[in-house]
Amino acid sequence: DAKTTQPNSMESNEEEPVHLPCNHSTISGTDYIHWYRQLPSQGPEYVIHGLTSNVNNRMASLAIAEDRKSSTLILHRATLRDAAVYYCILGPSGNTPLVFGKGTRLSVIA
């Protein structure tokens, strides 16, 4: 299985941008890069996903390196509500379901 590496924890000030990194050096050409987050006492929720090009949605932006061996989830203005564990997951071809790694615990300071 293709693996991802994320920092265990990160801290951000409220209303500042946050860049959450993910390394996936063994990614294959057909793997999508997915991000999910889990707020305290809730189930995981989808954030964003992409293949090669950078992606934007109402929650975040996903910046994918040209060689696709790393990616960065960007929260443009962190709020206290963004404090969560963020998971970077590769979505390979076939019928492979979501398999979670350890993720990054993001703390947001007021």
Partner 1 sequence: DTEVTQTPKHLVMGMTNKKSLKCEQHMGHRAMYWYKQKAKKPPELMFVYSYEKLSINESVPSRFSPECPNSSLLNLHLHALQPEDSALYLCASSPGQGIRNTEAFFGQGTRLTVV
Residues that bind partner 1 (CB under 8 A): 30-32, 34, 36, 42-46, 49, 51, 85, 87, 89, 91-103
Output 65 or 98, the one with its CB closest to partner 1: 98
Output 20 or 87, the one with its CB closest to partner 1: 87
CB of 15 to partner 1, least distance (A): 28
What span, in angstroms and rounded, lies between the C-alpha atoms of 49 and 35?
A: 6
CB of 85 to partner 1, least distance (A): 8
Output 13 or 30, the one with its CB closest to partner 1: 30
Rg (CA), the chain: 13
The CA–CA distances, whole Å, from 24 to 12, 42, 57, 80, 107 equal: 23, 27, 22, 28, 23
65: closest CA among 105, 19, 110, 96? 19
CB of 102 to partner 1, least distance (A): 6
Give the CA diameter of the chain.
43
CB of 71 to partner 1, least distance (A): 16
